[in-house]
């Protein structure tokens, strides 16, 4: 297999290749003065299996990925795998207001049309590891909204559990297959290795009930307790976190979530936990987007750590082995 890395590389493709007998491919990527992106495949890929490793932090990254995938197809690649460690737009998987685009579905359809296989890490709307037909998921979210459910009602439905039910009832469903890898065990092992003798004193906290499964799996690996905070989503970008009666006095707390974007939810959670008497607060996530930087975490946490699905100062956990095993 030939592995291709996009521009603004964090070296993830090279690390993945080092785990397996993969060859690194060559691309020429540049940006014109009007900001249009130019892509050229320099390696011979005819009748060869290829993989493109490219996280999509912003819109330019998405366009670049699509151009690379399309160019590989034009050059005769036998099989094309899109490896997208961080896949953006996946939070736009439900409609909170009528007329909204299901942006997650749109992006996945574009990538699906230009590749044979899609691999990602902790896709935001999938809370389990495995292979899923996302087309069924989007059919489901659309149908529930058509029954005039409020946005809050979405929190009471386990859409992931219902996907197989929809697949079984409708054999004519379109296919939009995603292979979702789980990096939470890798994150948990990082913290477990740091605290060895004091692991039982740690409490893993999910910032909301939706992340509870992640916290539970991490706690099992670390060998400690876990719990969650009560979060109510007021709109697509506004949340309210309520205090629960947590026994956190003089405990070491690890807050875990799949991604941190603005950091508002996590910082609010850290403040709630601090008021509960926690001795130490560490924050860990898979995807460190940090759209507003990381300075806000300096006053609310003792350590901030994320994986290298995105390149950030806090990227101290490597997921290249996880991805290499999937390839």
Which contiguous run of DSSP H or E holds residue 117? strand 117-121
Token pair for 150: 């409020």
Sign of CA dihedral 205, 206, 212, 216: negative
Residues 6+ apart with CB under 8 A from 284: 187, 190, 191, 254, 255, 256, 304, 305, 306, 317
Residue 134 CA, distance from chain mean position: 15
Q: The dihedral of CA 51, 53, 55, 56: what is its sign?
A: negative
DSSP of 55-79: --SSHHHHHHHHHHHHHHHHTT-SE
Q: Is 231 a catalytic residue?
A: yes
Residue entry with tokens 């499964």:
213
Name residue 203's beta-bridge partners.
225, 253
Q: Which of 231, 244, 275, 280 is catalytic?
A: 231
Q: Residue 114 has what DSSP assignment?
A: H
Q: What is the DSSP string of 31-44?
A: E-TTS-EEEEE-S-
Question: What's the distance, CA 68 to chain centroid?
Answer: 21
- The catalytic residues are 231
């Amino acid at each position: 297999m030939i592995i291709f890395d996009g521009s603004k590389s964090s070296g993830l493709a090279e690390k993945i290749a080092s785990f397996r007998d993969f060859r690194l491919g060559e691309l020429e990527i540049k940006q014109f003065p009007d900001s249009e992106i130019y892509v050229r495949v320099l390696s011979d890929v005819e009748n060869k299996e290829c993989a493109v490793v490219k996280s999509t932090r912003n819109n330019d990254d998405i366009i670049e990925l699509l151009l690379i995938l399309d160019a590989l197809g034009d050059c005769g690649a036998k099989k094309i795998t899109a490896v997208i460690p961080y896949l953006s737009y996946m939070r736009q998987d439900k409609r909170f207001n009528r007329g909204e685009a299901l942006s997650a579905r749109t992006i996945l359809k574009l990538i699906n049309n230009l590749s044979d296989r899609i691999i990602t890490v902790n896709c935001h709307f999938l809370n389990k590891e495995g292979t899923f037909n996302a087309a069924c998921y989007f059919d489901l979210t659309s149908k529930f909204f058509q029954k005039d459910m409020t946005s809050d009602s979405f929190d009471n439905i386990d859409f992931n559990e219902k996907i197989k039910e929809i697949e079984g009832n409708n054999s004519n469903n379109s296919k939009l297959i995603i292979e979702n890898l789980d990096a939470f065990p890798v994150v948990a092992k990082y913290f477990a290795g740091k605290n060895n003798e004091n692991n039982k004193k740690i409490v893993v906290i999910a910032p909301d009930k939706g992340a509870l499964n992640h916290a539970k799996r991490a706690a099992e690996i670390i060998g400690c307790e876990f719990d969650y905070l009560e979060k109510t989503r007021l709109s697509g970008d506004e949340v309210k976190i309520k205090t629960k009666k947590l026994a956190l006095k003089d405990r070491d707390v690890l807050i875990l979530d799949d991604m941190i974007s603005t950091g508002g939810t996590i910082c609010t959670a850290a403040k709630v936990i601090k008021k509960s008497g926690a001795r130490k607060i560490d924050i860990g996530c898979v995807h460190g987007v940090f759209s507003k930087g990381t300075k806000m975490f300096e006053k609310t946490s003792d350590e901030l750590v994320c994986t290298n699905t995105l390149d950030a100062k806090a990227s101290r956990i490597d997921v290249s082995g996880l991805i290499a095993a999937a390839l």
